[in-house]
Amino acid sequence: MLAKRIIPCLDVKDGRVVKGVNFVNLRDAGDPVELAALYDREGADELVFLDISASVEGRATMVEVVRQTAGEIAIPFTVGGGISNVEDMKRILRAGADKIGINTAAVTNPQLIAEGARRFGSQCIVVAIDAKYNESWGEWEVYTHGGRKPTGIRALSWAQEAEKLGAGEILLTSMDADGTKDGFDLKLTAAVSDALSIPVIASGGAGRIGDFYDVFTEGKADAGLAATIFHYKEIAISELKADLKQKGVEIR
């Protein structure tokens, strides 16, 4: 069994880390390079950067942020947000990222997963899935465009298709749990983890140390991702890892 990973997530807008609710009321949470270096020192296993800049200038700034971060940290990091073709992937990987996260672009053009995997290797391609429970289906539906657009696609079958096309990992965000701090969506995470042979990163809902134990055991996730609780020092990574170790969870 692979050791479990703890992954802080940084939303970057025009070169700064921001935190808000559903991309509104954004608050500045610091310099991304400094925060990344801090998380590296604190024992994070990996990082995820999400570029939420809308402007072309913001995109150019992000490449510079990636370049500077790569020079400061030793742990792997994934960059997602606004990546829509293989050239975008190449630019970000060349700047120093280890993996690429794709979400809306993968749903719109599934062959992008296969192209990216062919060019850079499956280990570089992380497909991000934003999923929300659909009452009438009794199953989860995929949303795109930052969780604003329902697609009519079932999350489980899309995760399986992404794996077949060459995704190396799935970053699974529960829209129902996101921002609640009531714990990860264990049902969704376990359903997707059971359906795949590639690692699943659980995202959305972390509020306390015990939530990570639950998502690794009941949710069967390979990694737990969170933002606010780490940025605002509600949970220390060292404390979280010590707790998991004590409970017998194998971590990095």
Distance CA 35, CA 231 (A): 8
130 is known as an active-site residue: yes
Taking residues 220-239, what's their average pLDDT? 95
**Of the listed 45, 130, 178, 214, which one is catalytic?**
130
> Which tops the pLDDT comparison, 70 or 2?
70
The proportion of the chain whose per-residue pLDDT surpasses 70, expressed as a percent, equals 97
Tell me the domain boundaries of the chain. Answer: 5-246
Q: What is the predicted pLDDT for the residue at 170?
A: 98
Taking residues 203-209, what's their average pLDDT? 96
User: Average per-residue pLDDT in the chain?
Assistant: 94
Span 127-160, pLDDT tens digits: 999 999 999 999 999 999 888 899 999 999 999 9
Q: What is the predicted pLDDT for the residue at 24?
A: 57
Span 64-110, pLDDT tens digits: 999 999 999 999 999 999 899 999 999 999 999 999 999 999 999 99
Taking residues 27-56, what's their average pLDDT? 91
Taking residues 205-214, what's their average pLDDT? 97
- Tell me which of 3.30.930.10, 3.20.20.70, 1.10.1040.10, 3.40.190.10 is the CATH number of domain 5-246: 3.20.20.70
pLDDT band, residue 201 (cuts 50/70/90) = very high
Q: How far are the Cα atoms of 19, 52, 231, 232 from residue 28, in angstroms, in the given order? A: 7, 13, 11, 11
pLDDT band, residue 180 (cuts 50/70/90) = confident
Span 3-38, pLDDT tens digits: 999 999 999 988 999 876 554 567 788 899 999 999
Q: What is the predicted pLDDT for the residue at 20?
A: 64
User: Taking 70 as the threshold, does the pLDDT of residue 41 lie above it?
Assistant: yes
Q: How far are the Cα atoms of 44, 46, 90, 109, 216 from residue 101, in angstroms, in the given order? A: 18, 13, 12, 14, 22
Q: What is the predicted pLDDT for the residue at 130?
A: 96
185 is known as an active-site residue: no
Q: What is the predicted pLDDT for the residue at 26?
A: 75
Q: Please count the residues of the chain.
A: 252
Q: 132: which 2 tokens?
A: 């929300």
Q: Which region among 53-62, 184-193, 232-241 has the lowest average model confidence (pLDDT)?
A: 53-62
